[in-house]
Structure 1
Amino acid sequence: MKKKYFKATAPILVLALGYGVVQLMSAAKPAPEKKAENPRPISLVYNEAREEAVRLTVATQGEVRPHTEIDLTPQVSGRIIAISENFAEGAGFTPGETLVQLDDADYRLALARAEAGVAAAEVVLLQARATAAIKRQQWETANPGREPTPLQVNQPQVAEAEAQLRSAKAELADAQLNLARTQIKLPFRGRVIRRDIGVGQYVTAGTVLGRVFATDRVEVRLPLTDAQLQELDLPMGFVATERNPGPPVTLSAQVGRDAHQWQGRIVRTQAAVDQQTRLIYAVAEVADPYGAGASNGVPLAVGLFVSAEAQGVRERPALVLPREALRSADKVYVVDESNRLNIRTVEVLSTSKDRVVIASGLTDGERVVTSAIANAVDGMEVQPIAQLARK
Structure 2
Amino acid sequence: MASTLTKVIAPLLVIAASAGAYALLQASRPEPEKNDEPQHTAAVYTATVAPETEALEVITQGEVRSRTEIDLVAQVGGRVVDVSPEFVEGGRIQPGVPLLQIDDTDYQLALSEAKARLADAELAVQQALADQDVARKQLRNDPSPSDLALKKPQVAQAMAMREAARAGLEQARLELQRTRVTLPFAGRVADTRVHIGQFISPGAVLGTVFGTELVEVRLPLNNRQLASLGLPIGYTAPAGGGLPVTFSADVAGSNHQWTGKLVRLDASVDPDTRMLYAIAEVADPYGKAASKLGMPLAVGLFVEARIQGRKLDQGMRIPGSALRAGNIVYVVNREGLLEIRDVDVVHATADRAVISAGIAPGEQVVTSAIRNPIQGMAVRSLTSAEG
Conserved 8 A contact 1:54-1:317: no
Residue 364 (structure 2) aligns with: 367
Residue 125 (structure 1) aligns with: 125
Conserved 8 A contact 1:55-1:316: no
Which of 277, 287, 290 in structure 1 is aligned with 2:286?
A: 290
SS of the aligned residue for 2:164 comes to helix
Superimposed CA distance per residue, residues 304-362 of structure 1 (whole angstroms, 9 cap, x where no aligned partner): 11222222234242222345555686665543434455666655433456543234443
2:70 is the counterpart of 1:75:
no
Alpha-carbon distance in structure 1 between the residues aligned to 2:258 and 2:163: 55
Residue 207 (structure 1) aligns with: 204
SS of the aligned residue for 1:81 comes to strand
Letter in 2 for 1:203: I
Superposition TM-score, scaled by structure 1 size = 0.79
Matches within 5 A, 1:1-391: 45-140=45-140, 143=141, 146-242=143-239, 245-296=241-292, 297-323=294-320, 325-326=322-323, 332-339=329-336, 346-352=343-349, 355-370=352-367, 383-386=380-383
Letter in 2 for 1:225: N
Alpha-carbon distance in structure 1 between the residues aligned to 2:379 and 2:349: 28
Superposition TM-score, scaled by structure 2 size = 0.80
Distance 1:269 1:311, change over 3 A: same
Alpha-carbon distance in structure 2 between the residues aligned to 1:90 and 1:223: 29
Alpha-carbon distance in structure 1 between the residues aligned to 2:238 and 2:211: 22
Superimposed CA distance per residue, residues 107-146 of structure 1 (whole angstroms, 9 cap, x where no aligned partner): 0000111111111111222222222222322333xx2x73
Conserved 8 A contact 2:244-2:260: yes
Distance 1:363 1:40, change over 3 A: same
| Greater CA drift, 78-87 or 303-312 | 303-312
Distance 1:211 1:82, change over 3 A: same
Alpha-carbon distance in structure 2 between the residues aligned to 1:257 and 1:281: 30
SS of the aligned residue for 2:310 comes to strand
Conserved 8 A contact 2:50-2:317: yes
Distance 1:388 1:117, change over 3 A: closer
Alpha-carbon distance in structure 2 between the residues aligned to 1:162 and 1:280: 60
Alpha-carbon distance in structure 1 between the residues aligned to 2:269 and 2:351: 33
Residue 24 (structure 1) aligns with: none
Alpha-carbon distance in structure 2 between the residues aligned to 1:310 and 1:69: 26
| Greater CA drift, 209-218 or 340-349 | 340-349
Conserved 8 A contact 2:128-2:158: yes
Conserved 8 A contact 1:71-1:210: yes
Conserved 8 A contact 1:81-1:200: yes
Distance 1:332 1:232, change over 3 A: closer
SS of the aligned residue for 2:209 comes to strand
Shift of 1:83: 1.1
Alpha-carbon distance in structure 2 between the residues aligned to 1:233 and 1:256: 36
SS of the aligned residue for 2:205 comes to coil
Letter in 1 for 2:197: G
Alpha-carbon distance in structure 2 between the residues aligned to 1:63 and 1:179: 40
Conserved 8 A contact 1:91-1:192: yes
Query: Structure 1: 5+ residue runs without aligned partners?
Result: 1-32
Alpha-carbon distance in structure 1 between the residues aligned to 2:46 and 2:159: 95
Q: How many residues align?
A: 354
Shift of 1:226: 3.4
| Greater CA drift, 273-282 or 105-114 | 273-282
Letter in 2 for 1:205: P
Letter in 2 for 1:111: L
Shift of 1:92: 1.5
Letter in 2 for 1:250: T
Superimposed CA distance per residue, residues 75-122 of structure 1 (whole angstroms, 9 cap, x where no aligned partner): 111111111111111111111111111000000000111111111111
Letter in 2 for 1:108: Q
Alpha-carbon distance in structure 2 between the residues aligned to 1:312 and 1:239: 15
Residue 28 (structure 1) aligns with: none
Distance 1:259 1:328, change over 3 A: farther
Query: Structure 2: 5+ residue runs without aligned partners?
Result: 1-32
Superimposed CA distance per residue, residues 248-275 of structure 1 (whole angstroms, 9 cap, x where no aligned partner): 2222222233222222222222222211
